[in-house]
Amino acid sequence: MRLKDKVALITGAGSGIGRESALRFAEEGAKIVVADVNDAGGAKTVALVIAAGGEAIYVHADVSKGAEAEAMIAAAESTFGKLDILFNNAGISHADDDDAVHTEESVWDLTMAINVRGVFLGCKYGIPALQRAGGGSIINTASFVAVLGAATPQLAYTSSKGAVLAMTRELAAIHARQNIRVNALCPGPLHTELLMKYLNTEERRQRRLVHIPMGRFGEAKEIANAALFLASEESSFVTGSTFLVDGGITAAYTTPE
């Protein structure tokens, strides 16, 4: 198994990419720490992992708060003895996120608190744990919009994911000699609740699909498989990367219908 004897902490694991990654990592032998603010969703993820024969615990953690970020790392070490994989996946896309003129400061601040400070705090407290374990892998969820401007205004979200890319590159350079790899996972448009609540008509979905060369939305399971690669030793020479899993959307200027 690709993650045998590894301990992985995944934030935002109560749903979507986080849940699918928890299940996939556990399938490959990892012990899982599920972190989320959604207690019901987190508990369900743990139950699914255990039902499939894996090991998992749930920790309530608002990643934007230092004490809670520190506590989730402590829970991993106290329960499973170490931490090998840190997947900073938690994030939000606010319904009122718009352009610079129309986005309220409160929306900007909340988005940055979760999407950027949350990654920083995960690394602040998680990196010492990885050092104690002799190294490991950090995966930070960014987005394809961090490298390709979104035509539909979502300035706070896009800016936050660009910050995650910059943070990832610097952390990778700093910690490379410590056997700690840091990579940014950049999903394209996915068939998840987060996106589908915006693309809530067939017309809206088709307007987005025309830009994706593969002609379909990605699935959370596909992103989980990409995360598994970055978590495993199969990516042992990969660090500081902008790992795009986007159906080709960033490779195409236009796509024929």
Please, which pLDDT band fits residue 254 given cuts at 50, 70 and 90?
low
Flag whether 249 is in a domain. no
Please, which pLDDT band fits residue 252 given cuts at 50, 70 and 90?
confident
Mind listing the pLDDT tens digit for each residue in 60-105?
A: 999 999 999 999 999 999 999 999 999 999 999 998 999 999 999 9
Mind listing the pLDDT tens digit for each residue in 140-154?
A: 999 999 999 877 889
Q: Would you call 157 a catalytic residue per the annotation?
A: yes
pLDDT at position 256 over 60: no
Sign of the CA dihedral 125, 129, 132, 137? negative
Q: Which of 58, 157, 198, 253 is catalytic?
A: 157
Flag whether 56 is in a domain. yes
- The pLDDT of residue 257 is 55
Flag whether 73 is in a domain. yes
Please, which pLDDT band fits residue 51 given cuts at 50, 70 and 90?
very high
Overall domain count for the chain: 1
Flag whether 255 is in a domain. no
User: Is the CB of residue 60 less than 8 Å from the CB of residue 39?
Assistant: yes
User: Is the CB of residue 130 less than 8 Å from the CB of residue 136?
Assistant: yes
C-alpha 30/C-alpha 90 separation (Å) is 19
Residue 209 vs residues 199, 222, 231: alpha-carbon distances, Å: 10, 17, 30
- The pLDDT of residue 204 is 74
- Where b means 16+ CB within 10 Å and e means fewer, 216-247 reads ebbebebbbebbbbbbbeebeeebbbbbbbbb
Q: Which residue has the tokens 């959307």?
A: 249
- The pLDDT of residue 206 is 82
Q: Show the domain range for 147.
A: 7-188+221-244
Count of CA atoms in the C-beta half-sphere (13 A) of 186: 27
The CATH number of whichever domain residue 121 belongs to comes to 3.40.50.720
Flag whether 32 is in a domain. yes
Flag whether 204 is in a domain. no
- The pLDDT of residue 29 is 98
pLDDT at position 220 over 80: yes
